[in-house]
């Protein structure tokens, strides 16, 4: 008797209408992630003795800049989708059609955080260290939105947890059989991010907030994971540099920045063990 695989079915819906307003599940999960990240950041800032009330204000700066950056990064790394003879360049602004990238969100979001923390009088690294566990949790929540959009999947697989993609979906690769199953990258990254939250808290449990260890660990953990997932992700229109996907290059750079940050901060701490690191305040709550 042949056993059927425990496949992950494709969702039947990706949105619902509330009167004249169309609500997309992707947007709801993104919003839920933002709320969770803001709450966790506020709690961590409060326990560290920093201004917890400023958490939401700074998050708003990060969200606005992050959305803009996420769209810019996606458009620039998928030029074939937007820049071709006869293309409507206004489509580069149609964010509701899908197409945002986490690396653009993190990069531009960091600029927003810098502006917000300057206005609030909070050192950047203090806020960043407080933020990253909640940020990684938010990214995990957001991956559920990818599931409802039938996106973020990998190469075909015969593994029992293969992801089913509707053949009518624009993301379905041409030339494959309708019953083809794919690696559920959204699920892999969701689980990776949840584990990463624990790794960040464990790595920074004896470090002062603002030490940069939490931020550095986030960059290393997510960079390594994302580079791995991107290696078998199906995204035929993504820009490649010397045959390497743009997202893999960015992920490696992120991990390298994280390693550099931790090394530099640890050297300063070793050279001056009795002096607090610039921006450090209190202990990061577990």
Q: Is 143 annotated as a binding residue?
A: yes
**Residue 153 contacts residue 184 (beta carbons within 8 Å):** yes
* Distance separating alpha carbons of residues 212 and 14, to the nearest angstrom: 38
Q: Is the dihedral of CA 277, 278, 282, 284 positive or negative?
A: negative
Output the known binding site. 143
């Amino acid at each position: 008797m042949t056993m059927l695989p425990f496949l992950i079915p494709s969702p039947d819906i990706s949105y619902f209408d509330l009167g004249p307003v169309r609500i997309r599940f992707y947007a709801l999960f993104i919003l839920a992630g933002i709320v969770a990240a803001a709450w966790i950041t506020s709690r961590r800032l409060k326990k560290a003795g920093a201004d917890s009330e400023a958490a939401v204000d700074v998050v708003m700066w990060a969200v606005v800049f992050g959305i803009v950056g996420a769209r810019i990064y996606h458009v620039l790394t998928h030029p074939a989708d937007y820049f071709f003879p006869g293309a409507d360049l206004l489509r580069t602004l149609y964010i509701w059609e899908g197409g945002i990238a986490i690396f653009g969100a993190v990069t531009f979001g960091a600029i927003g955080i810098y502006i917000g923390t300057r206005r609030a009088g909070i050192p950047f690294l203090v806020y960043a260290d407080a933020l990253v566990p909640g940020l990684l949790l938010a990214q995990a929540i957001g991956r559920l939105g990818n599931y409802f959009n039938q996106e973020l999947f990998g190469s075909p697989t015969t593994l029992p947890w293969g992801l089913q993609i509707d053949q009518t979906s624009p993301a379905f690769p041409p030339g494959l059989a309708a019953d083809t199953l794919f690696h559920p990258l959204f699920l892999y990254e969701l689980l990776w991010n949840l584990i990463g939250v624990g790794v960040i808290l464990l790595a920074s449990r004896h470090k002062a907030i603002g030490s940069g260890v939490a931020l550095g660990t986030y960059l290393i953990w997510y960079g390594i994971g994302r580079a791995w997932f991107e290696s078998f992700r199906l995204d035929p229109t993504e820009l490649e540099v010397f045959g390497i996907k743009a997202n893999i290059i960015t992920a490696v750079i992120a991990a390298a920045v994280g390693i550099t940050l931790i090394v530099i901060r640890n050297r300063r701490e070793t050279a001056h063990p009795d002096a607090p690191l610039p921006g450090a305040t209190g202990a990061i709550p577990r």
